[in-house]
Amino acid sequence: MLFVLVSFRSESIHVISHYSVEVKTLSSSQLRRIYSMRQLRWSNNEPIVVFVLPSQHAVHKTFSKETLHIFPYQLDRIWNKLTFSGLGVAPRIVQSQAELLQAVSTTPGAIGYVEVMDKEKQHVNVINVTE
């Protein structure tokens, strides 16, 4: 008997940024640095403003596991440690994908993620994520 294990990355999650962000491609490790709040500025020295959905949100869980390759509770621990130690701030939490899309499109330097997006109606960049 032969078993084949297939692993695939969800292509349904789109990493998006404010239209002023010039970055078009990020590796998953670069993205993990941004979301763990270790990279705070874009290459042009513009501050990165990170937006996320609540930890319990299905899209957040999928993004964390499949794109960042880290569990949501691990991100929460990193953010809590930064916040409670006074060494940094946690990302800005929004309640829905529509709110996240709106926040990213109106905040210079912003980054976020959404599952479904009508590109023609939004003023954001889609960032290609590589392994």
Tell me: the pLDDT tens digits for 74-116?
Answer: 999 999 999 999 888 899 999 999 999 999 999 999 999 999 7
Q: Which residues pair with 124 in a beta bridge?
A: 18
Specify whether the CB–CB gap between 108 and 87 falls below 8 A.
Answer: no
Output the pLDDT for position 116.
79
Which residue blocks in the chain are alpha helix, DSSP H?
Answer: 28-35, 58-62, 72-85, 97-106
The reported pTM is 0.87
pLDDT band at 2 (very low <50, low <70, confident <90, very high): very low
Tell me: the pLDDT tens digits for 113-131?
Answer: 999 776 555 689 999 999 8
Residue with tokens 């078009």: 24
Q: Which fold has domain 22-130?
A: D-Maltodextrin-Binding Protein; domain 2 (3.40.190)
Burial 3-36 (b: 16+ CB within 10 A, else e): eeeeeeeeeebbbbbbeebebeebebeebbbbbb
CA atoms within 13 A on the CB side of 129: 23
Can you tell me the distance from the alpha carbon of 116 to that of 78, in angstroms, rounded to the nearest whole number? 27
Relative to beta strand 14-18, strand 124-130 is: antiparallel
Mean pLDDT of 32-53: 96
Q: Is the pLDDT of residue 73 over 80?
A: yes
Query: What's phi and psi for 73, nearest 5 deg?
Result: -65, -30
Sequence ranges of the domains in the chain: 22-130
Tell me: the pLDDT tens digits for 7-38?
Answer: 344 458 999 999 999 999 999 999 999 999 99
